[in-house]
């Protein structure tokens, strides 16, 4: 009898080992899947942060098979595009250049090639007038306003927190410089992405997704 029980146990042991292996593999799969989901979640958050910084905090983001894409649910018909072609091209033209004359206290200096390659040091609290720069939205910007920056920024190291409604609101690809000396300052920039948007808009393609 003992011999029979021993034979049955030996016969069933490979099945038990296989089951244990499957359980371990399954648990590893769960762990790997959880890690993958976390990585994907972090990647999506980074994509959303970068795109919303470029196109505005209210930008709706959706994913396609080829990656993230801004939501174009505001698309209009041909008649709407034709009627607003001239106003949209005027707005796109002024989006290309920033030229702000600043008046107010402060000492600061900044230079940028893109959002990923920029430098800023100092502080200023000013009023300004002139060309506001990229809209980063569909509605026009006023040719005057308030601007304030303080701290240090180098590439993605940002120790210069934005002040709501008073931030410079740079385009992601905008390059240029700004300086403030005591009570007078200037900010100049050109956004190559907005240059491309202006010319593509001539043939009714809204690359920046900012047409009215």
For the stretch 86-95, pLDDT in tens is 999 999 999 9
Do 102 and 181 belong together in one domain? yes
Q: Does one domain contain both 20 and 115?
A: no
110 and 197 in a single domain? The answer is: yes
Please state the φ and ψ torsions of residue 68, each to the nearest 5 degrees.
-75, 150
| 190 or 156, which is more confident | 190
Tokens 């026009």 correspond to: 140
Is residue 135, in this structure, part of any structural domain at all? yes
Q: Which of 93, 104, 94, 95 is nearest to 145 (CA)?
A: 104
- What's the pLDDT at 161? 76
CA 122 from chain centre, in angstroms, equals: 24
Residues 58 and 124 in one domain: no
Q: Are residues 85 and 68 in the same domain?
A: no
172 and 111 assigned to the same domain? yes
Same domain for 52 and 86, yes or no, is no
Please indicate, yes or no, whether residues 20 and 119 belong to a single structural domain of this protein. Answer: no
Residue at a domain's end among 25, 58, 73: 73
Residues 34 and 106 in one domain: no
The pLDDT-based confidence of 131 (bands split at 50, 70, 90) is very high
The residue among 199, 150, 141 whose CA lies nearest residue 169 is 141
Let me know if residue 210 belongs to a domain.
Answer: no
Our CA angle for 187, 173, 75, nearest 5°, is: 110
Give the pLDDT of residue 49.
58
Predicted model pTM = 0.62
Q: Which among 56, 73, 90 is the end of a domain?
A: 73
- Determine how many CB atoms are found less than 10 A away from the CB of residue 35: 10
CB 118 within 8 A of CB 112: yes
What was the pLDDT predicted at 37? 47
Query: Containing domain of residue 186, as a range?
Result: 78-202
Q: How many domains does the chain have?
A: 2
Determine, yes or no, domain membership for 208.
Answer: no
pLDDT over 90 at 15, yes or no:
no
């Amino acid at each position: 009898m003992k011999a029979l029980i021993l034979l049955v146990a030996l016969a069933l042991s490979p099945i038990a080992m296989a089951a244990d292996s499957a359980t371990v593999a399954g648990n590893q799969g769960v762990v790997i899947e959880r890690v993958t989901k976390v990585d994907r979640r972090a990647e999506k958050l980074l994509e959303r942060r970068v795109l919303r910084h470029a196109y505005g905090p209210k930008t709706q983001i959706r994913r396609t098979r080829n990656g993230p894409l801004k939501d174009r649910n505001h698309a209009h018909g041909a008649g709407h595009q034709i009627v607003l072609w001239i106003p949209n091209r005027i707005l796109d033209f002024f989006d290309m250049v920033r030229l702000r004359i600043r008046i107010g206290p402060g000492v600061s200096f900044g230079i940028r090639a893109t959002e990923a390659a920029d430098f800023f040091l100092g502080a200023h609290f000013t009023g300004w007038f002139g060309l506001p720069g990229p809209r980063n939205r569909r509605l026009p910007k006023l040719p005057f306003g308030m601007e304030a920056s303080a701290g240090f920024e180098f590439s993605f190291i940002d120790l210069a927190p934005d002040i709501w409604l008073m931030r410079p609101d740079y385009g992601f690809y905008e390059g240029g410089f700004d300086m403030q000396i005591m009570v007078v300052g200037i900010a100049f920039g050109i956004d190559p992405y907005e240059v491309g948007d202006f010319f593509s808009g001539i043939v009714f393609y809204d690359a920046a997704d900012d047409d009215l």
